[in-house]
Amino acid sequence: MLRPWPVSLGDRISRSRDVPMYMQIIQAVIRDIERGRLTSGAYLPSSRELAQILGVNRKTVVLAYEDLIAQGWLDSTGTRGTMVATSLPDPVKRQHAEIEATMSNAAVDYRFAPPPERPLALPSGSGLKLDEGAPDGRLFPAELLARAYRSAAHNASRENGFQYRDPRGSPALRESIATMLKSQRGLPVTAENICITRGSQNGIFLASQVLVSPGDSVIVEALTYEPAVAAFRALGANIVPVDVDEDGINTDAVEYACRRNAVRAVFVTPHHQFPTTVSLRPERRLRLLELARQFGFAIIEDDYDHEFHFESQPLLPMAGYGPGLVIYVGSMSKLLLPALRIGYVAAPPPVIDAIAHMVSLTDGMGNTLTEDAAAELIENGELRRHARKVRQIYAKRRESFAAEIDKTLGDIADYRMPDGGLAFWLRFHDTDLDQMEQRAAAMGLRFASSRSFMTRADAPRGLRIGFASLNPYEARTALAALRKAAG
Amino acid sequence: MLRPWPVSLGDRISRSRDVPMYMQIIQAVIRDIERGRLTSGAYLPSSRELAQILGVNRKTVVLAYEDLIAQGWLDSTGTRGTMVATSLPDPVKRQHAEIEATMSNAAVDYRFAPPPERPLALPSGSGLKLDEGAPDGRLFPAELLARAYRSAAHNASRENGFQYRDPRGSPALRESIATMLKSQRGLPVTAENICITRGSQNGIFLASQVLVSPGDSVIVEALTYEPAVAAFRALGANIVPVDVDEDGINTDAVEYACRRNAVRAVFVTPHHQFPTTVSLRPERRLRLLELARQFGFAIIEDDYDHEFHFESQPLLPMAGYGPGLVIYVGSMSKLLLPALRIGYVAAPPPVIDAIAHMVSLTDGMGNTLTEDAAAELIENGELRRHARKVRQIYAKRRESFAAEIDKTLGDIADYRMPDGGLAFWLRFHDTDLDQMEQRAAAMGLRFASSRSFMTRADAPRGLRIGFASLNPYEARTALAALRKAAG
């Protein structure tokens, strides 16, 4: 009776306690069957022998063999011992690497779409960071959040509310969001017009899923929000970039593009254009709605930071006067916290149902506990109090950030004071931005590349720099570093 | 000076306090401009006149006019009054509905993909429900969850951890999941092989996004998990259903399909086949891996309820011995709670990077707070303790549910006791399932339609009935209702 196995088994068994010993034996046997080291009908050493070879308790080997027999990998032949099940197919002969394949060193044997060279999101990491207009999470009292979660957890537990639920989101939050949109943004909505999403990016993604098929055209501005463009591209959309100026998207260019392409959607951020911060002027809003009616496209209106507007009252969203032409996307990331991933889409009920279907195949539903906690923070007024507090802080930070830019970058860059939102748009006179970005990366200063906003090579390049998440000291340090990178 | 406006403005101003009065005036003016009731150059009533007409404070009207002027909708002509800005385009003449359009009654003017007739998710609602194998959320102590969230919130607050982060997920949770997969599922992984997802459906969705292009073929079983199929379909995949029997997917049928189609992925649930609960036999596992190598497709292995196995040890996942052929998808929904939406994908790092890119365009990243709270529950051992507790409870419920089925449905249905997982697969002898499902719906008894599992009209129909979320009394009531629906 030949018993060539175990070949180097001892080397492959780890003494670490990460993986239980009997499981390692099971794994090793299956892998050796899979790789043809153990073939159908081959005898294994007795449990006593293998235990001795490996220096483990015999019971461990018995347990492993029993499981392998129960699962059909091995056959017990009674007194003659244990053999590889004769039902198993003969392995295909092939070269094997010497090293055991793990998930980390395995060659990938299937084709997949590789990621782009430059990641969409600013990678997390240490060092200085200038974001694109994030809020300062440190200003939100952790205890408030903890209490809202506690109360949501206890309620859900009582009502068996931890199960799979409505893909449109928690009823309480849909109700609260509808009320908020009505009173703060003048939107003619009720809860049935709301689908909760995972942040505004998820809202844009879901809207595009119901609007765009491969080959359809989507209009975006020459400078815009890259993750939105990536979502359209992933659907096989033909991206049509059009000009944007200090009045927002150029509607003549939109009309021109519509005459040449089957445009299904136009993505805009009318309130504070991303990245340039300008507002879309009334005449262009009216024109865009008219074009939507004429060419049958949907306007995806991302109202991403309407909560922060420092001059006069904020402009009301286009969805308010074109409810059948606009899919409205918003988020609580700026007011509450990005980390909670609460966004929403507002649209007529048939569109909400279509979007809810996309939710159920994308991620099933949202995090109910978080949704209920957010609803509680709205209902008990804590979010409103927080908004009042941070609005004052951000208003001051906007002023002092502007002063700091004047001091540090005044000779090499220009900006227009933003009426609202949490970021500045900086245009540089003669600085080579590619060089600057390389130097910044080498210095450990992270910010979104000026290229990330551009959908056309001739778009006016610039940097979008958030001011809200930095206290005055941090702002000074970061801008000084930026200046250094500029050379 | 003609001042025909306001036409019926008083009727359109609501006395409710939902929307502030000055915002209602702003909205009404913009809408009337948009609809051509107010044309470029037309004069508005003085603030005093309008205040009188509407019966509001004059200051409210002044505030609204000021904002409309600042935003460019109106022009102030000094002493002559306020007019609609001459920069606005003349509206296109068209019929207007008498009723003011809201998001709820607006006609949708763009084309969108409508949802299917039968929703993917079992709609939430009142009445009796039989799920497809959900855990009992009431067994998870709400206080444990609340404490984990509190601690995560305070940590994040200290570290400014509420910002946008790595799309692969929280480092702590990726570490914990890798350790768990190594020790409990024998997977050769580290944290760099892990991407956190929003439940296993999101994992399947993301995997399909990197694998499948329009026109590619995806193999699924004749009976399978409908939301996965919907995710492939949404990508324009050609769905190729193949037979499944008591040994799992028929690998001869897979080979046959691969010779006729450009197959890019095969979706399977080898541990407990969804919906039939059978395990994929070793010889078929080896054969499927061999076919993957031969035809270059990826195996999407959904290991959705490996935590619950009541006979012998659970089979180890195929990803353990075919790490370069398999994208492994799992979830904490069964062990922890569905409502938290924590799932994960395990794959080689290049594939994880590609999936992370899809995360950043789908929803940006996960809920960091929830991810950190989940990591804490793993690290402090609470999740392990909970697993031990519920395993005993579910083992008992499985037995008593089987006895209850015997008693209530024994004469009309068959089942095989499931080795693991949280559901039974029921086959009916002569019952007309369409009639039964209609009667159940009329009675207010909700469960997934037998049709929802079928990807082929000739697939053997049945019902998948979860037992874990019901206590013995609830189980008895629900099964009695099911019996009644059967007629």
ipTM attached to this prediction: 0.93
CB contacts < 8 Å between A and B, how many? 479
Domain boundary among A351, A381, A411: A381
Q: Give yes or no for residue A434 having a pLDDT over 80.
A: yes
Q: Are A311 and A420 part of one and the same domain?
A: no
- Cβ–Cβ contact B10 with A under 8 A: no
- Specify the pLDDT at position B388: 94
Q: Give yes or no for residue B123 having a pLDDT over 90.
A: no
- Read off the pLDDT band of A21 (50, 70, 90): confident
Q: Are A353 and A394 part of one and the same domain?
A: no
Q: Give yes or no for residue B1 having a pLDDT over 60.
A: no
- Read off the pLDDT band of B28 (50, 70, 90): confident
Q: Are B396 and B368 part of one and the same domain?
A: no
Q: Give yes or no for residue A325 having a pLDDT over 90.
A: yes
- Specify the pLDDT at position A100: 76
Return d(Cα A318, Cα A324) in angstroms, integer.
10
For A87-136, the DSSP string reads TSPPPPP----SSPP-TTTPPP-S--PPPPSS-SSPPP-SSEEE-SS---
Domain containing A274 — which CATH number?
3.40.640.10
Mean pLDDT of all residues in A224-235: 96
β partners of residue A239: A218
Return d(Cα A373, Cα B164) in angstroms, integer.
20
User: What's the pLDDT tens digit per position in A166-176?
Assistant: 899 999 999 99
Query: What one-character DSSP code corresponds to residue B336?
Result: S
Q: Give yes or no for residue B466 having a pLDDT over 50.
A: yes
Q: Give yes or no for residue B2 having a pLDDT over 50.
A: no
- Cβ–Cβ contact A470 with B under 8 A: no
Of A417-431, B49-63, B258-272, least confident by mean pLDDT is B49-63
Domain containing B41 — which CATH number?
1.10.10.10
Nearest Cα to Cα of residue B31 among B105, B132, B99: B99
User: Which residues in chain A have Cβ-Cβ distances shorter than 8 Å to B104?
Assistant: 188-190, 192-193, 348-349
Q: Are A368 and A432 part of one and the same domain?
A: no
User: Would A391 be classed as within a structural domain?
Assistant: yes
Give B 230-269 residues with CB within 8 A of chain A.
230-231, 234, 236, 264-265
User: Would B56 be classed as within a structural domain?
Assistant: yes
Give percent above pLDDT 70 in chain A: 95
User: Would A115 be classed as within a structural domain?
Assistant: no
Of A102-116, A147-161, B411-425, least confident by mean pLDDT is A147-161
Q: Give yes or no for residue B313 having a pLDDT over 80.
A: no
Q: Are A417 and A347 part of one and the same domain?
A: no
User: Would B315 be classed as within a structural domain?
Assistant: yes
Q: How far is A62 from chain B (nearest CA, A)?
A: 13
Domain containing A477 — which CATH number?
3.90.1150.10
Q: Are A305 and A420 part of one and the same domain?
A: no
Domain boundary among A344, A359, A381: A381
Q: How far is B247 from chain A (nearest CA, A)?
A: 11
Q: Are A392 and A275 part of one and the same domain?
A: no
User: Which residues in chain B have Cβ-Cβ distances shorter than 8 Å to A122?
Assistant: 164
Q: Are A435 and A310 part of one and the same domain?
A: no
- Specify the pLDDT at position A95: 65
Residue in the structure block whose two tokens are 């005036």: B25
Mean pLDDT of all residues in A125-132: 86
Q: Are B347 and B404 part of one and the same domain?
A: no
User: Would B461 be classed as within a structural domain?
Assistant: yes
Q: Are B245 and B162 part of one and the same domain?
A: yes
User: Would B308 be classed as within a structural domain?
Assistant: yes
Q: How far is A216 from chain B (nearest CA, A)?
A: 12
Q: 3-class SS at A419?
A: coil
Q: Give yes or no for residue B160 having a pLDDT over 90.
A: no
How far is residue B203 from each of residues A24, B15, B206, B210, B346, measured CA to CA in Å? 27, 48, 5, 11, 9
Q: Are A211 and A66 part of one and the same domain?
A: no
Q: Give yes or no for residue A4 having a pLDDT over 70.
A: no
Domain boundary among B338, B355, B381: B381
- Specify the pLDDT at position B309: 87
Q: Mark yes or no for CB contact A214/B192 under 8 Å.
A: no
User: What's the pLDDT tens digit per position in B258-275?
Assistant: 999 999 999 999 999 999
How far is residue A38 from each of residues A7, A21, A33, A44, A241, measured CA to CA in Å? 10, 20, 5, 9, 60
User: Would A152 be classed as within a structural domain?
Assistant: no
Question: For the whole model, what pTM was predicted?
Answer: 0.94
Mean pLDDT of all residues in B423-440: 96
Residue B85 contacts residue B74 (beta carbons within 8 Å)? yes
Give percent above pLDDT 90 in chain A: 74
Structural domain count, chain A: 3
State which H helix or E strand residue B178 sits in.
helix B171-185
Q: Give yes or no for residue A236 having a pLDDT over 90.
A: yes
Give the residue from chain B lying closest to A105, CA to CA: B348
Q: Are B325 and B408 part of one and the same domain?
A: no
A349 or B98, higher pLDDT: A349
Return d(Cα A431, Cα A425) in angstroms, integer.
15
CB neighbour list of residue B382: distance below 8 Å, 6 or more residues apart: B144, B148
Return d(Cα A141, Cα B156) in angstroms, integer.
11
Range of B463's domain?
128-137+385-486
Q: Give yes or no for residue A1 having a pLDDT over 60.
A: no
- Specify the pLDDT at position A2: 46
- Specify the pLDDT at position B94: 66
Distance of CA B58 to the CA centre of its chain: 50
User: Would A406 be classed as within a structural domain?
Assistant: yes
Q: Give yes or no for residue B135 having a pLDDT over 90.
A: yes
Q: Mark yes or no for CB contact B103/A369 under 8 Å.
A: no
Mean pLDDT of all residues in A218-225: 98
Nearest Cα to Cα of residue A181 among A377, A359, A319, A341: A319
